[in-house]
Structure 1
Amino acid sequence: MKPLNAKIKQLIDQTKAKFGLDLYHLKRHSFHRYVNMFNETIYRFNMEWFPSHETEPEDDDLNPDGTAIIEVNLNTGQVETVIFVMDKTYAQHGVTFKRPYPAHVIQWIEQETGLIYGEHFHMHQKEKGGLFFEEAIDGVKVTPSGRIEVKWDEHGQLMYFTHHGPFLAKTLLRAEEYVLSIDKLENLAEQQVQQFQWPSFEHNRIRTIYALEEIYVKNDGTGTIPFEIGREETLCIHMNEIIEWNEPLNKAFEKKEMNIHEDISAEQAFSLEPSPDTIPISKEEQTECIKAVRTFLAQKYSKDTGKWVLKTLHRDHGYIHAILKTNGQEGSGFMDKIKVFIDASSFEAVNYIDKKEMFQVCGILSPSQSASEITVSQKEAFEKLRERLELTPIYVYDEVQKQYVLCGKLDCHDGIDSESGEVFSLKDLS
C-alpha cells in the first residue's frame, strides 16, 4: 500500500491532467465528510486551483476569476464537483465537448460516473450551454433523487459539473403496478388542506391561506410518507413528541458559539473511517434530547407549553439537531419551525434558529403584525381546491423498509385566500 501522502499527490496529479490545469497552482486542499441517508460516511477531497498569473486577492476568502474548485468523492474515486469561478477558465486541453453537445456531454457523464443514460439518469432540463439530469425509473420520478448538472462555454469548454446522490433507486426498488387514484383519496386530501400563515413581503403583513400540505401515499395501501424538503440530507429519527411543562424557567436562554469544523486527517479519509454522526441516537439519548428541548422552550418561549412538537432528531457535526413544528392546526406552516442545536456530549441546547424570528430580524415582519381575517371555512376551501388536486406516481425512499416504494404524490399548486375566498397560484405568493 502506498504511503498516504502519495495518495494525495496522485489525486492532485490526476486532477491537474484531467482538467488541463497546467496554468494553475493548487492553493488549498482539504478533506470533508458527511453522513448520507443510508447512514454511510462519505468523504470528499476538495481542491482550489488558482490561475498562476492572477494576483491573489487580499481577502483570503475570495477566489480570483477562473479559479477551479474541484471535489473528488473518496468512496467512489469519482469527481463530484467542478466549478470554474465566474465561468472563466485558463484550462489547456481540459474537458471540451464537441457538437452535437447533448450526445457528447451524455457520453462524458457516462464515462465519469459509470451510470447509463435512460436507465439511471434522464434529461430534466435543457438550455443553451447547459443540461440538467435527474434520476428516474421507467419515466417515474424518484425522491430523494440523484442529480447531475453540466454547463459549458461557447467553445464547448467545461465550466460547471455536479454529480449529487448515489443513484441507487434502480437497485433498491420494489416493483409494483400503480393502482392509486384521486377519488380514493378524497378524505385524506381534505385532511391535508390546512390553514397557513404566510409572510406577504409585498404588503408587509401576514396572509392567512388554505393550501394542501403535500404527502406521499403508498401504492400498496399501507400508509403515507410525509413530504420533507431536504429528505436526502440525513437519516432522521421521527419523534412526534408534544413538549409541555408546568412552570416557565426564570433563567434566560443564552446562545453559545458552535464549532462544526472538523480537522479530518488523510488517514481517516482514505480509510473511510465512520463519522461519529453514524452512531444511532439511543433511547436514553432521545430522552435527554426531549429534556433539553423542554428546558430550551421553557426558557425562550415560556408561555408556549403544548404548542410545539418535537418532530425529528438527527446527528450533524457533533451536534444533535431537533426539529420543532407547531402542534396541529395552530401554526403558521411556513414560518412556524424551530431548529434546536443540542450538544451531543452534554445534551444541553446551545443554539437555535427560529424561522419567524428571522423574518422579524430582517424587518420583513414585525412581531405585532396580525394575520388577515378568516371568512372561509376549511371545508369550503377544500371544495374549491377539489378539482385542482394532483396525484403523480413517484418512487419514495422508505427509511423503515430501506428501499424505494411506489407512491402517489398528492399535491395542489393552488391555494385559497382565507379572507376573500380567491383561488390563486401558490407560485404567486408574495
Structure 2
Amino acid sequence: MNEQLQELADSCQKNYGLDNYYLERYHLFRDDNSNVENAFLFSMEWVPRVVEGEVEEGLNPPGTAVIEIELESKKLRHFTFVQGANLVEEQVFPQLKDGSESIIEWVEETTGLEFGRQFQLKEEAENGIRFLAAADNIPVFPVGTIEVVFNKEGMLSQFSMDGSFPQEDQIKWEPFALTSSIVDPIILNQLQLLEIPIEEEERWLPVFGTTTTFITNNKQHIIPFEKAEMRDSYEIVDRNIEWDFEATEETFVPQEIDLSHEVSLEEALANKPDENKRPLTPEDIERSFEAVGSFTKEKYPEDSGKWKLYAIFREHGYLIAELWPRMQDKKVIQHKLKLFIDPATYSVLNFTDNEFILEMFDHFSEAESPVLTKDEAFEKLHSYIEITPVYIYEPNSETYQLCGKVDCSYGVNAATGDVILLDEL
C-alpha cells in the first residue's frame, strides 16, 4: 500500500477504536457529489478479527466497518457497521443516549462544519438524526446531507456525509426580496395541466400542478430543477432534430459503458482534473448535436422532426444528451432518450430508451376533460404554494446565489376541481 494511504489507514484504526479489526481491502473513488474540484475518497473495509457463525462467500461479516475518508482533507465522509453490529471495544462515537446536543458537537468536530451556519437539523427520529446543508439556517441546493444512525443498543451504526456544504466566502449575502405579488405571474406561467397514472384504477388523472422551480432573488431568471440539481455542466439546448434526406442503413453497435466512480492510485495522486466539472464548450454542444442527429437518423429513421435535443451535461466521463419528444403530451411520464457520447470523438457509444416504461400504461383509461381553467386552478392552489429562500450553487463563479424555491405539495383535480395532496396519488 502507498505510504500516504497506509498513514490514513493507521490513523483510522487508531481514531475509531479498530484494534480488534484488520484491513481486508480498499478502493479509491472520485466523489462526484462534491463541489470540490478534485475530491477523492479512500474507501476501506475493516473486518473483525473474531467472527461468530458462518459468513456467506463474497459478503462481509456482521460488524465489518466500511469507512470512506477524503484523501486530501482526511475528513470522514462515511462510516458503516455491516448489519448495524458495532463491535468496537472502546467506543469513540456518540451514543443515542447522549442526546442531540452531544451528537451535534461530535458532527461539528468530525466534519469541521458549524451547526446553524453550515448545516441545520432536518429530522430527529428514534434511531438517529438527519441534517441538511445550510447557509445561516437557509437551505442550499443541491442538497448536502449528514446522517447519524444508531442500532437497537443505541450504539452508532452509520455516519454519512454527502454533497457539498458552503463556505462563508461562497455566499452572496442579500435580503430575500421575493414576495407573492412579485412571483405570482411567474408561478401562474409555471402551472401545468398534467396527467398522472393511478395504478390501482388503471387510469390517467388530470391534475393542475406546478413543478419545483427556482427564481433568482433579482427576479430576472428562472432556474429549472434539473439545472440546479446537476450543479455543474448542465446546459439546456432545446434544438429540434430533423433531416430532409433519406436515412442511412442502421449500423449502430452499442458499446459497453463504464459507470464506475473508482480510480487508480496513480490518477488520485496525480490529482487529475474532474472532467465532469469542466464547463461545456460551444464545440461540445455543436458536435454533440451533430452526433445526436446522425444517431437518431440511423436508429429512428421515421422520426425526423419528432425529437429535440433538450439538454447536454457531463457524467461518468461521458457527454450525456437528453432527447425529448418535440411535441409532448400532458402525461408526467414522457418518452425520453439518453445518449452516451465520447467527449474525445463525439460519437454516440450507447443509449437508453424508456419506451418500455410507457408501454406499462398503454391499457390505462384516458384522462377526463378539465372542468376548470388554469386561472381558476391557480386561485384554488394559491394558498398552498410555498416560496422559501434557498441558496443555489452557481458553478461558474463557485458561489451560492439567493433564490426563491417555488414548491407546492398539492394539485387540483382538473376533472372535479378538488384540491388534492399529490403524495397520496
**Same fold per superposition (TM over 0.5):** yes
Counterparts in 2 of 1:45 and 1:37: CA distance versus 1, 3 Å: closer
8 Å contact kept, 2:141–2:228: no
**Counterpart for residue 78 of structure 2:** 81
Q: Select the residue among 41, 45, 54 that pairs with 1:44.
A: 41
Write out aligned runs for 1:254-403 (5 A): 254-261=253-260, 264-327=263-326, 330=329, 332-358=331-357, 360=359, 365-367=360-362, 369=364, 371-376=366-371, 377-403=373-399
CA displacement, residues 291-328 of structure 1 (integer Å, 9 cap, x when unaligned)? 22223333444454444432332222332111233447
Q: Following TM superposition, by how much is the alpha carbon of 1:212 offset from its aligned partner in structure 2, in angstroms?
A: 0.7
Q: In 2, Cα distance between the equivalents of 1:378 and 1:248?
A: 42
Deviations 1:15-74 (A, max 9, x none): 1222222332222211111445747121111112223333674542x3332221110111
Number of residues paired by the alignment? 421
Which of 110, 114, 120 lines up with 2:112 in the alignment?
Answer: 114
RMSD of the alignment, in Å?
2.8
The one-letter amino acid paired with 1:80 is R
The one-letter code sitting in structure 1 at the alignment partner of 2:176 is Y
Structure 2 CA distance for partners of 1:107 and 1:408, relative to 1, 3 Å: same
For the residues of structure 1 that align with 2:303 and 2:36, how far apart are their CA atoms?
34
CA distance in structure 2 between the partners assigned to 1:254 and 1:357 by the alignment: 20
In 2, the alpha carbon distance for the partners of 1:233 and 1:398 equals 7
What is the rounded CA distance, in whole Å, between the counterparts of 1:262 and 1:406 in structure 2? Answer: 31
Deviations 1:323-363 (A, max 9, x none): 23344763533444432211223322232233453354xxx
Residue aligning to 1:167: 165
| CA deviation string 1:256-295 (max 9, x = no partner) | 3212346633233234222344444332232221122223
Give the CA deviation at 1:125.
0.9
Q: Using the TM superposition, give the Cα deviation of residue 184 of structure 1 relative to its aligned residue in structure 2, in angstroms.
A: 2.2
Consecutive unaligned residues in structure 1, runs of 5 or more: none
Check 1:199–1:313 CA distance in 2 against 1; reply closer, same or farther (3 A cut): same
Partner in structure 2 of residue 196 of structure 1 = 194
8 Å Cα contact 2:33/2:162 also seen in 1 = no
Shift of 1:254: 4.8
Runs of 4+ in 1 over 6 A off after TM superposition: none
Indicate if the aligned counterparts of 2:17 and 2:89 stay in contact, CA closer than 8 A. yes
Note the C-alpha offset of 1:392. 1.4
Do 2:227 and 2:235's aligned partners in 1 also have CA atoms closer than 8 Å? no
After superposition, residues 64-75 of structure 1 pair within 5 angstroms as 64-75=61-72
Match of 1:412 in 2: 408
Query: 2:172, 2:400 within 8 Å by CA — same for their partners in 1?
Result: yes
Cα distance 1:160–1:168, how it changes in 2: closer, same or farther (>3 A)?
Answer: same
Counterpart CA distance in 1 for 2:31 and 2:240 is 30
Q: 1:46 to 1:16 in 2, by over 3 A?
A: same
How far the C-alpha of 1:78 sits from its partner, in A, is 0.6
Q: CA deviation at 1:159?
A: 0.7
Q: 1:67 to 1:220 in 2, by over 3 A?
A: same
| 1:427 positional shift | 0.7
Give the partner amino acid of 1:15.
C
In structure 2, how many angstroms separate the alpha carbons of the residues matched to 1:403 and 1:108?
A: 28
Which range moves more in the overlay, 378-387 or 101-110? 378-387
Cα distance change of structure 1 residues 74 and 371 upon mapping to structure 2, 3 Å threshold: farther
Q: Name the SS for the 1:145 alignment partner.
A: coil
Alpha-carbon separation, structure 2, partners of 1:28 and 1:56: 20
Report the Cα distance in structure 1 between the residues aligned to 2:327 and 2:192, rounded to whole angstroms. 10
TM-score of the superposition, structure 2-length normalised? Answer: 0.88
TM-score w.r.t. structure 1 length? 0.87
CA contact (8 A) 1:36 1:232 kept: no
When residues 50 and 223 of structure 1 are mapped into structure 2, their CA distance, relative to the original with a 3 A threshold, is same
Q: 1:369 to 1:31 in 2, by over 3 A?
A: same
Whether the 8 Å contact between 2:139 and 2:389 is mirrored in structure 1 is: yes
- Which residue identity is paired with 1:317? H
Does the 8 Å contact 2:206/2:370 carry over to 1? no
